[in-house]
Amino acid sequence: MLSTCVIIPAAGSGSRLGCNEPKAFVRLHGRSLLARSLETTLSSGVASTIVVAAPEEFLFRARDEIAAAMADAECETSITAVAGGLDRIESVQIALKYAADSEIVLVHDAARCLTPPEVFSRVHTAVRSGAEAVVPVLPMIDTVRRALPSESAGAEPTEVLRGDLDRSRLRRVQTPQGFRTATLLRAHAHHRAEAAPATDDAGLVERLGVDVVAVPGHEEALKITYPLDRILGEQLARMRDANAGGPQ
Ligand code: CTP
Ligand code: MG
């Protein structure tokens, strides 16, 4: 089997969530986002190695979570924690240095800690079958419009909506995103040279002119971003733990 490194960007502060500790250490039904991400990654069975990008001053806590996850899973997967960067892309870039020996790399946000293992399998299988870049996606549920600044001279800045976007052709992109490691390394090198804004790795690969293949994502792979996501995540985690015979 081709060796696979799973990078877990977990170095963000979680400013939109508004907690007094970095988001990766916020708990859902008693277990942190990082602990839950490690557990799912390990249970998916796709990872030969895992690299966690954690906030520098919380590396010791990340290492504690890693030790606990490894003890629970009784697995041989090697897991490393590294200090992340100033933004998500930089955190992935730093972690990628530890992935160069693997043929395949999956990048999975700790913020999507409830992603079911089958999504990992779908992404991994598609890369193993020859795709250079693969993302899990879901259809758009809301009507989406393009907003432009309004010409009107009021006190409050306003905007007007112009132009229909065909919702049936739009997708919400999730993680894990899977790549041939050589392709992702090339995309990040290109990004460093180009320095255009970017939010995810598949976007960087697309700029190389490489096809990014879509596979079905999962509604439970939601990104814990705002307090409302945390409420939903807490309930989901509680249900999962009850089904698995975990803490009630
Ligand atoms: N991330 C990272 N390094 C950063 C910023 C973000 O590794 N410098 C990670 C986060 O830990 C998260 C993922 O990238 O797992 C997606 O980012 P996001 O949901 O935006 O998390 P935060 O940046 O922590 O949240 P916010 O933007 O609200 O501060
Ligand atoms: Mg962020």
Residue range 188-201, pLDDT digits in tens: 999 988 878 888 99
Q: What pairs with residue 52 in β-bridges? A: 8, 81
Ligand 1 atom with the shortest distance to the CA of 13: 24
pLDDT of residue 20: 93
pLDDT of residue 248: 56
Structural domain of residue 215, as residue ranges? 4-139+170-244
pLDDT of residue 149: 86
Residue 247 has pLDDT above 70, yes or no: no
pLDDT in tens, 77-86: 999 999 999 9
Give yes or no for residue 86 CB within 6 A of ligand 1: yes
**Residue 104: inside a domain, yes or no?**
yes
Give yes or no for residue 33 CB within 6 A of ligand 1: no
Ligand 1, atom 13, lies closest to the CA of 109
Which CATH number is 14's domain given?
A: 3.90.550.10
Percent of the chain at pLDDT > 90 equals: 83
Q: Give CA angle at 224 (223, 228), nearest 5°.
A: 120
Residue 132 has pLDDT above 70, yes or no: yes
Is residue 158 very low, low, confident or very high in pLDDT (cuts 50, 70, 90)? Answer: confident
**Can you tell me the mean pLDDT for 205-217?**
97
Ligand 1 pocket mutation pick from 86, 88, 92, 199 by most atoms within 8 angstroms of CB: 88
**Residue 144: inside a domain, yes or no?**
no
Is residue 76 very low, low, confident or very high in pLDDT (cuts 50, 70, 90)? Answer: confident
Residue 3 has pLDDT above 90, yes or no: yes
**Residue 122: inside a domain, yes or no?**
yes
pTM for the full model? 0.96
pLDDT of residue 176: 98
Ligand 1 atom with the shortest distance to the CA of 109: 15
Å from CA of 140 to ligand 1 middle: 23
Is residue 163 very low, low, confident or very high in pLDDT (cuts 50, 70, 90)? Answer: confident
- CA pair distance 186, 202, nearest whole angstrom: 12
Residue 202 has pLDDT above 60, yes or no: yes
Round to the nearest angstrom and report the end-to-end CA distance of the chain. Answer: 38
Percent of the chain at pLDDT > 70 equals: 98
Contacts of 171 (CB under 8 A, 6+ apart): 137, 138, 139, 140, 214
**Residue 145: inside a domain, yes or no?**
no
Residue 230 has pLDDT above 80, yes or no: yes
**Residue 34: inside a domain, yes or no?**
yes
**Residue 190: inside a domain, yes or no?**
yes
* Beta strands at 133-139 and 213-216: parallel, antiparallel or unpaired: parallel
- CA pair distance 171, 156, nearest whole angstrom: 32
**Residue 33: inside a domain, yes or no?**
yes
**Residue 195: inside a domain, yes or no?**
yes
**Number of folded domains in the chain?**
1
Residue 45 has pLDDT above 90, yes or no: yes
